[in-house]
Amino acid sequence: MLTGQETVREILNLSPQAKSVLHKYGITLESADHFGYKNLAHAALTLKIPLRKILDDLSAATGERVAEIKVKGVQNTAGKSAVRKGGLENIKRIIAVHSGKGGVGKTFVAVNLAAFLAKKGMKIGLLDADVDCPNVLHILKAEGKLVANQKKMIVPLEKFGMKIVSMAPLLNSEDEALLWRGPIVSRVLEQFLYDVDWGDLDVLVVDLPPGTSDIPLTLYHMLPRAEVLLVTTPHQLGLLDAKKAAAMAKKLNVKILGIIENMGGEIFGKETSKEAAKKLGIPFLGSIPMHTAYAQIDHEGRPQVFSSLELEEIYENVRKKTGL
Ligand SMILES: Nc1ncnc2c1ncn2[C@@H]1O[C@H](COP(=O)(O)OP(=O)(O)OP(=O)(O)O)[C@@H](O)[C@H]1O
Ligand SMILES: [Mg+2]
C-alpha cells in the first residue's frame, strides 16, 4: 500500500516501473539528496505536484494500491500554486541567451560572455537552463556535485571565476531529461534560480534551450526584468527563427538587449542579420565568425574568449553596447 510516506529511495527500489514514474516527475536519488526530500509527499510538496497524481501513476505502473492520503504534517498538494515571482535582489542583471532555433551557438555565446565578464572582474553566475541538453559543465570541464549548505541552499560549482549551476548533475542519464515536461521543468528552473546560494552577482547569464518552450516562458514569467540576448546565424532561416524568439520576448514584455550574429563567414554570409535587426528595431551587437578553433574544447575547458583577441574585442563591444 502506497501512502506517500515512503522515502524516494524506497519507491525507486520498488521496481523499474516505479523508478520511471518518479523520473518522469524529475524525482531522482540525486534530486532527493540535493533538495532533502524526507519522503515522497515532501518531494511532491516541494515540486508542487499533487501527491495523489504521483501515487495514482505509481499504482497504475506497479499494481500497488494507494492509501487515502492523510500524511501527518504534510498537506496534500493538490490544487494550483504559482511559481515564485520577482525577487533575487542580490542579482543586478539577468541575461537570458535565447534563439528560436537549435544549434546556432547560444551555449557558446553564453559561456564566453559569462567568462569574459568574470575575467573583467564582475561577479558572474551562469545557469545552464537547457533541460534537454545541459552541456555547459561538459564544455567547461567543470565537475562536482551540487550540494546544499546549512541554509539549505544549493551551492553553485565554481570555475574560471564564475558560479555555475546546471541541471546536468541531477540527471541519471541523458535520456531522462526528455521525460521532464511542463510543470516539472518550471519547478526545477524555479529551484535553480531561487534555491541557489548565488550571493551577490553583477550578472546572471542564463543559457536557454532553443524555441518557445516552457523554460523561457517560465523564466520570463518569474523574472520579467530579465533581458534577452538573441543569437542568430546569418542564414535566412536563422533570421526567421530569431524573429520568433523576439516576438515571444516582446509579447511577454521582456527587454531585448540585442542580437548577436554567430557563425558568420563564407558559408552563411556576414552581418546579414544587421538589416533584420534594424527592421525589428533591435540593436545589433556584433558578428562572431565561424572558426574551427571556436568549436574546440581544450583539455581544461577554457572558454575560447580567453585565447582569442578577436572574440575578446567582439565581447568588449557587446559589453559597451549593453551597458554591462
Ligand atoms: N562561431 C563558431 N564557430 C565554430 N563553431 C561554433 C561557433 N559557435 C558555435 N559553434 C559550435 O557549434 C555547435 C553548436 O553550438 P552551441 O551548442 O553553442 O549551440 P546552441 O544554440 O547552444 O545549441 P542548442 O540549441 O542545442 O542548445 C557546437 O559544437 C559549438 O562548438
Ligand atoms: Mg545550447
Taking the CA of 304 as reference, the closest ligand is 1
Ligand nearest to the CA of 232: 1
* Cell 541557489 belongs to residue: 196
In this structure, the answer to whether residues 48 and 97 fall within a common structural domain is no
CA distance 322 to 324: 6
Q: Do residues 134 and 236 both lie within one domain?
A: yes
Domain C-terminal end among 42, 62, 82: 62
Looking at the structure, do residues 128 and 249 belong to the same domain, yes or no?
Answer: yes
3-state SS string for 279-298: HHCCCEEEEEECCHHHHCCC
- Where b means 16+ CB within 10 Å and e means fewer, 64-84 reads bebeebebeebeebeeeeebe
Residue 237 has pLDDT above 70, yes or no: no
Residues with CB under 6 A from ligand 1: 99, 102-108, 130, 133, 209-210, 262-263, 288, 290-291, 294-295
pLDDT tens, 292-306? 999 999 999 999 999
Q: List strand residue ranges (DSSP E) for the chain, in order.
A: 91-98, 124-128, 147-148, 154-155, 157-159, 162-166, 201-207, 227-232, 255-264, 284-289
Q: 123 and 37, same structural domain?
A: no
| pLDDT one-digit tens code per residue, 124-142 | 999 999 877 889 999 999 9
Residue 180 maps to a domain: yes
Would you say residue 40 has pLDDT above 70? yes
- Give the model's pLDDT for residue 76: 35
Q: Are residues 164 and 272 in the same domain?
A: yes
In a domain, 252, yes or no: yes
Q: CB neighbours (10 Å) of residue 134?
A: 22
Q: How far apart are CA 135 and CA 128, in angstroms?
A: 8
Best of 97, 99, 104, 108 for a ligand 1 pocket test (most atoms within 8 Å of beta carbon): 108
Q: In the prediction, which pLDDT does 181 show?
A: 58
Q: Establish if 169 belongs to a structural domain.
A: yes
pLDDT band at 272 (very low <50, low <70, confident <90, very high): confident
| Angle subtended at Cα 87 by Cα 81 and Cα 91, rounded to the nearest 5 degrees | 140
Residue that the C-alpha cell 524555441 belongs to = 211
* Cα of 106 from ligand 2 centre, angstroms: 5
Q: Do 51 and 142 sit in the same domain of this protein?
A: no
| Residue nearest (by alpha carbon) to ligand 1 atom 18 | 105
Among 252, 184, 240, 242, CA closest to 216: 252
Mean pLDDT over the full length of the chain: 87
pLDDT band at 73 (very low <50, low <70, confident <90, very high): very low
* Structural domain includes residue 197: yes
What residues make up the domain containing 57?
Answer: 8-62
CATH number at residue 217: 3.40.50.300
Whether 154 and 208 map to the same domain: the answer is yes
- pLDDT computed for residue 31 by the predictor: 84
163, 261: one domain? yes
Confirm whether 68 is domain-assigned.
Answer: no
Nearest atom, ligand 1, residue 110 CA: 18
Question: Which residues 6+ apart lie within 8 Å of 78 measured at CB?
Answer: 50, 51, 52, 53
pLDDT grade, residue 276 (50/70/90)? confident
Let me know whether 136 and 280 are in one domain.
Answer: yes
pTM above 0.85, yes or no: no
**52 & 143 share domain:** no
pLDDT confidence of residue 302: 97
Strand, helix or coil at 229?
A: strand
pLDDT in tens, 164-183: 999 777 665 555 554 555 66
Atom of ligand 1 at shortest range from CA of 209: 27
pLDDT at residue 79 is higher than 50: no
- Contacts of residue 128, Cβ cutoff 8 Å, sequence gap at least 6: 107, 134, 135, 136, 137, 164, 165, 166, 167, 168, 207
Q: How far is the CA of 290 from the centre of ligand 1 (A)?
A: 10
Q: Are 129 and 215 in contact (CB under 8 A)?
A: yes
Q: Are 37 and 172 found together in one domain?
A: no
Q: Which atom of ligand 1 approaches the CA of 103 most closely?
A: 23
Structural domains in the chain (count): 2
Q: Looking at the domain assignment, is residue 140 inside a domain?
A: yes
- Per-residue pLDDT of 85-110, as tens digits, reads 888 999 999 999 999 888 999 999 99
In a domain, 138, yes or no: yes
| Beta-carbon count within 10 A of 308 CB | 17
Give the pLDDT score at 81. 45
Please tell me whether residues 178 and 264 are part of one structural domain: yes
Distance (Å) from CA 179 to ligand 2 centroid: 18
